[in-house]
Chains A and B, each alone.
Chain A
Amino acid sequence: MTRLGSLGAVAAEGLVVAHGAVPAVRGIGFTAAPGEFLTLLGPSGCGKTTTLRAIAGLETPRAGRIAIGGQKVFDAADGVDLPPERRGLAMVFQSYAIWPHMTVFENVAFGLRARGVRKAALGDVVRRSLDLVGLADFANRPATRLSGGQQQRVALARSIAGDPAVILLDEPLSNLDAQLRLAMRAELKSLQRRLGLTAIYVTHDQEEALALSDRILVMREGAIAQAGTPQQILDAPASRFVAAFMGVRNILPCIAERGGGAMTAVLKNGVRLPARGDGGSFVCFRPASVRLSAAPEPGAHPAEVAAATCLGDIVEYELRCGEVALSARELSRRALPPGTPVFWRVDPDDCFLLAD
């Protein structure tokens, strides 16, 4: 067991968590290396938050083992189950969980006091953490008089004050408005790098996961659907589910043909698309990989605009190409009207085959 722990800052093995009869997490295992930013990504109800809470000690798994920093904190087999306060973790909650009856200072100092930091050192440590999140001037403000973004920063300061090795983050940006979310995302990333924290991050937002993570675990129905670096998952989704979740909107049924060492996908309408992969019954590509042109080009297929939505700098098209419907997006501020004939093609590198 110690071997499992020593592999990384956080290691989980065979975790099963159930509320009542239905398991929310079905035998998950993973390791986060020291300093790694690991993201659990998946739709709501996939068990990602439950997994995180099990690591924190807020859920008791039915089976499995968890080690943090080489120390076993949970093992269903021999009954080890350290309570949350003895796991030495930091956590940022989705609701921020800022204690409303305390000031900003007291919120940050709470964990330090609970862990026995002496009063003389307390002020310095709290001030340093508040400095790190840019709230140095807010120490004496009541926690109820903070904006959403400020609450988020207090939650962050509170979690890093105790100088933890591991920080757990449960959809920390989901309650912020779009602009603030982008800013906080960048801050979070640089803070994690600077402090060398091992971060386990839960989100349902693929963009957030791609921007932040060293490694992503895509989860589905309590199990890991795919694990890998953002690039690996973008380039080679393991399944239609992962592909769709990562924003691949064109997943078209096809017949794969092998010819001269390369694969060709034959769509229902007879269109032939060269593609990566060694076979499968679906050909997949992102809307942004579709190149549109007004005039016929070599390798382009005729289609017709079925619908167009202008999103500012981007236009999203629904195209009809015989009996096949596909999505495309183009950098443009002017949408072509429905019925316009267009020609489309996809770079073979952007096109891949999936069995399921």
Chain B
Amino acid sequence: MILGRRIRPEAMLGFVVTLCVATLVLPPLIAAAVAGSSAGFTPLHEPGIVANTLIFGAATTIAALLLGGGLALALAPGVPGRAMLERLVVMPLYLTPLLTAMGWNWLASPRSGLVNLVLHETLGSWATINIVSVPGVVAVSAFAFAPLPFLLISDALRALDPSLLESARVHGASAGRVFRRIVLPLLQPAALAAALLVCVEAVGMFSVPAVLGLPAGFNVATTQIFQLLENYPPRIAEATAWGVLLLGIAAVLTLAQAALLGRRSFVTVTGKAFRPAAGRPRAPRGRAAFALLYVALAAVLPLLALLWAASCEFVPARLGLMRFTFQHFAFVLNQYPKTWLAAGNSVLLGALTGCLVCGLGLGVSWVVLRGRGRGAQALDQLSMIPLSMPAMVFALGLLWVYVRVPLPIYGTALILLIAYSTHYLPYGVRTTSAALRQLHPELEEAARVAGASWMGAMRRITLPLLQPTIFAAWVLLFIMAMQEVSSSMLLYTSHSIVLSVAVFDLWENGNPSDVAALGFVQLAASFIVVSAVLALRQRRGLA
């Protein structure tokens, strides 16, 4: 009966998963915090940049929240083409803000932007839209982040019990009053969660401020970190001190959110599909047009500008000088030495990140939801830490840690894999745990009682049933990892360069049209791999 004493695989899983997550998350966090606080420099020496960071974070958050929340409310049932519009509206999530920022630069930079060229020739040189400005940075960032509040708030709307609204109407409240007194308060938790998410992402965002802010003299914490590291010798300690500022902002926001939500109890709002009490929405076409306008500004126009820039012989100062050519694509594909290496690295890293995050995320979800060990809550919170840790700060922490660790990690693609996997871990945990929660635990238990080992039950019951979710999560993670730029910027070497870094590199030192062409290569690489995987899956009859 000694066999009964064997360590159970589920207990082992709990131990291994906790160890992995802790090893991924904690050392860089602690290293960044310690190194940054003992740098002998505080960001308060540069109050201007601190103020810029806060203003940028606040303005972007408010704009993205209004835009995303507005879209969620606008796309009520009854709006023509709602299902399609809901998919289009989240499209910017799949586009890297680096490319949309560049696209907007070619659309509306004051002298050579396409829009301004047209305006100058029709109205005269006084008519200029300048995207290379603080409002420009905020607008393009808000375009990029709006899908996050859109998703969270439309989920909350969907979960809203229609009878709450109907009973308010029956008791004599007008539609406007119902909205103000019932709908808005019930949406508050989702809106706050979205605000926190956007604000942390915004103050940690590098690409848009770098492309549209720096040329206008608008310097924020992330661009400052980048410049400090571009120095020779790189001032890593000082850069890390800026990272601690970002960590501090995230910590304060998280505490503020907890304090705001903690004071009130939110009974779970359940119910059927969201049906506004007023039946059909007012101005259904206007609502659809609003959503389409957003999609145009956030995705379609910048992409068209990218295509235009990539196929122009050179980005002209006058419309008359425009000539089209494929030479930039040819250069990027045949001559630019980094393209193929970076593409290979990006695809490999994206695929591995997807696998690692799905695997670890599933492990965490299982231990948290099904495991009987203690500390499940702690593991859940531990795995969510990366959400409030800007990727750039995390990368700085990784530098401090792995410079000292005598393993072939520093200066290899492995450090990028670690950075991506940790940064996206919360997405993996959230999606897999949502799916696992839908799966009745008795399905697994029935397999155990029927004679399957824990492994057998996982392999034959749980994994096959979760397989569609895991696949969808893998695709999303692949796409997100393919476009990651903030931490890649700090961790790459000439061997481990990735496409997003190569694009930014060309942006700084190359021909604008070549950048645009390389940007297209980056998008195409994502598209081709995802399509190929989808096709493969379909052929195996899994879809």
Query: Which residues of A are in contact with B by a Cβ distance under 8 Å?
Result: 56-58, 60, 72-74, 78-87, 89-91, 93-95, 97, 99-101, 110-111, 114-115, 158-159, 162, 168
Partner of B448, one of A57, A74, A79, A162: A57
A90 to B460, CA, bound (A): 18
A74 to B461, CA, bound (A): 26
B451 CB within 8 Å of chain A: yes
Contacting pair A95 B1 (CB below 8 A) = no
B442 CB within 8 Å of chain A: yes
Given contacts A60-B372, A84-B449, contact A99 B5 (CB under 8 A): no
Contacting pair A101 B465 (CB below 8 A) = yes
Contacting pair B5 A80 (CB below 8 A) = yes
B51 CB within 8 Å of chain A: no
CB-defined contacts of B443 to chain A, threshold 8 Å = 97, 99
Given contacts A94-B442, A110-B460, contact A100 B465 (CB under 8 A): yes
CB-defined contacts of A158 to chain B, threshold 8 Å = 446, 450
B176 CB within 8 Å of chain A: no
Partner of A95, one of B442, B450, B464: B442
Cβ-closest chain B residue relative to A94? B442
CB-defined contacts of A85 to chain B, threshold 8 Å = 448-453, 456
Contacting pair B442 A114 (CB below 8 A) = no
A110 to B454, CA, bound (A): 14
Residues in B421-460 with C-beta less than 8 Å from chain A: 440, 442-443, 445-454, 456, 460
A82 to B453, CA, bound (A): 11
A83 to B3, CA, bound (A): 10
B320 CB within 8 Å of chain A: no
B372 to chain A, nearest CB (A): 7
9 contacts between A and B (CB under 8 A): A80-B5, A83-B448, A84-B445, A95-B442, A110-B447, A110-B460, A111-B451, A114-B450, A158-B450
Partner of A111, one of B1, B4, B8, B450: B450
Contacting pair B450 A83 (CB below 8 A) = no
Contacting pair B465 A89 (CB below 8 A) = no
Given contacts A115-B451, A162-B451, contact A72 B1 (CB under 8 A): yes
Cβ-closest chain B residue relative to A109? B450
Contacting pair A97 B451 (CB below 8 A) = no
Given A78-B1, A100-B465, A158-B446, 19 further pairs, Cβ under 8 A: A58-B448, A60-B372, A74-B4, A80-B5, A81-B4, A82-B4, A85-B448, A85-B450, A86-B3, A90-B450, A91-B446, A93-B446, A97-B442, A97-B443, A99-B443, A111-B452, A114-B450, A115-B451, A162-B451
CB-defined contacts of B446 to chain A, threshold 8 Å = 91, 93, 97, 99, 158
CB-defined contacts of B464 to chain A, threshold 8 Å = 101
A49 to chain B, nearest CB (A): 11
Contacting pair A79 B440 (CB below 8 A) = no
A54 to chain B, nearest CB (A): 12
**7 nearest A-B pairs in the assembled complex, by CB-CB distance:** A111-B450, A97-B446, A114-B451, A97-B442, A84-B448, A80-B4, A93-B442
Query: Which residues of B are in contact with A by a Cβ distance under 8 Å?
Result: 1, 3-5, 8, 372, 440, 442-443, 445-454, 456, 460-461, 464-465
CB-defined contacts of B450 to chain A, threshold 8 Å = 85, 90, 110-111, 114, 158-159, 162
Contacting pair A95 B440 (CB below 8 A) = yes
B23 to chain A, nearest CB (A): 28
A115 to B465, CA, bound (A): 22
CB-defined contacts of A115 to chain B, threshold 8 Å = 451
A315 to B138, CA, bound (A): 75
CB-defined contacts of A81 to chain B, threshold 8 Å = 4-5
Partner of B440, one of A84, A90, A97, A159: A97
CB-defined contacts of A168 to chain B, threshold 8 Å = 449
B522 to chain A, nearest CB (A): 37
B6 to chain A, nearest CB (A): 9
Cβ-closest chain B residue relative to A114? B451
A29 to B277, CA, bound (A): 57
Contacting pair A114 B452 (CB below 8 A) = yes
CB-defined contacts of B460 to chain A, threshold 8 Å = 110
Contacting pair B453 A83 (CB below 8 A) = yes
CB-defined contacts of A100 to chain B, threshold 8 Å = 465
Cβ-closest chain A residue relative to B443? A97
CB-defined contacts of A162 to chain B, threshold 8 Å = 450-451
CB-defined contacts of A95 to chain B, threshold 8 Å = 440, 442
Partner of A83, one of B442, B454, B461: B454
Contacting pair A91 B451 (CB below 8 A) = no
CB-defined contacts of B440 to chain A, threshold 8 Å = 95, 97
B377 to chain A, nearest CB (A): 12
A142 to chain B, nearest CB (A): 14
CB-defined contacts of B465 to chain A, threshold 8 Å = 99-101
Cβ-closest chain B residue relative to A60? B372
Contacting pair A91 B447 (CB below 8 A) = no
Contacting pair B442 A110 (CB below 8 A) = no
A93 to B440, CA, bound (A): 11
Identify which of B440, B448, B453, B460 gathers the most chain A CB atoms within 10 Å of its CB.
B448
B457 to chain A, nearest CB (A): 8
CB-defined contacts of B453 to chain A, threshold 8 Å = 83, 85, 114
CB-defined contacts of B5 to chain A, threshold 8 Å = 79-81
CB-defined contacts of A93 to chain B, threshold 8 Å = 442, 445-446
CB-defined contacts of B452 to chain A, threshold 8 Å = 85, 110-111, 114
Cβ-closest chain B residue relative to A20? B374
Contacting pair A114 B445 (CB below 8 A) = no
A90 to B465, CA, bound (A): 23
B373 to chain A, nearest CB (A): 11
Contacting pair B461 A99 (CB below 8 A) = yes
A91 to B452, CA, bound (A): 13
Contacting pair B445 A58 (CB below 8 A) = yes
A95 to B454, CA, bound (A): 20
A157 to chain B, nearest CB (A): 12
Cβ-closest chain B residue relative to A117? B451
B108 to chain A, nearest CB (A): 52
Cβ-closest chain A residue relative to B452? A114
A60 to B443, CA, bound (A): 19
CB-defined contacts of A80 to chain B, threshold 8 Å = 1, 4-5
Contacting pair A91 B449 (CB below 8 A) = yes
A100 to chain B, nearest CB (A): 7
A58 to B450, CA, bound (A): 12
CB-defined contacts of B4 to chain A, threshold 8 Å = 73-74, 79-82
CB-defined contacts of A111 to chain B, threshold 8 Å = 450-452
CB-defined contacts of B8 to chain A, threshold 8 Å = 83
A214 to B8, CA, bound (A): 37
Cβ-closest chain A residue relative to B449? A91
CB-defined contacts of B447 to chain A, threshold 8 Å = 99, 110, 114
Cβ-closest chain A residue relative to B453? A85
A115 to B447, CA, bound (A): 11
A91 to B450, CA, bound (A): 8
A74 to B465, CA, bound (A): 31
A86 to chain B, nearest CB (A): 8
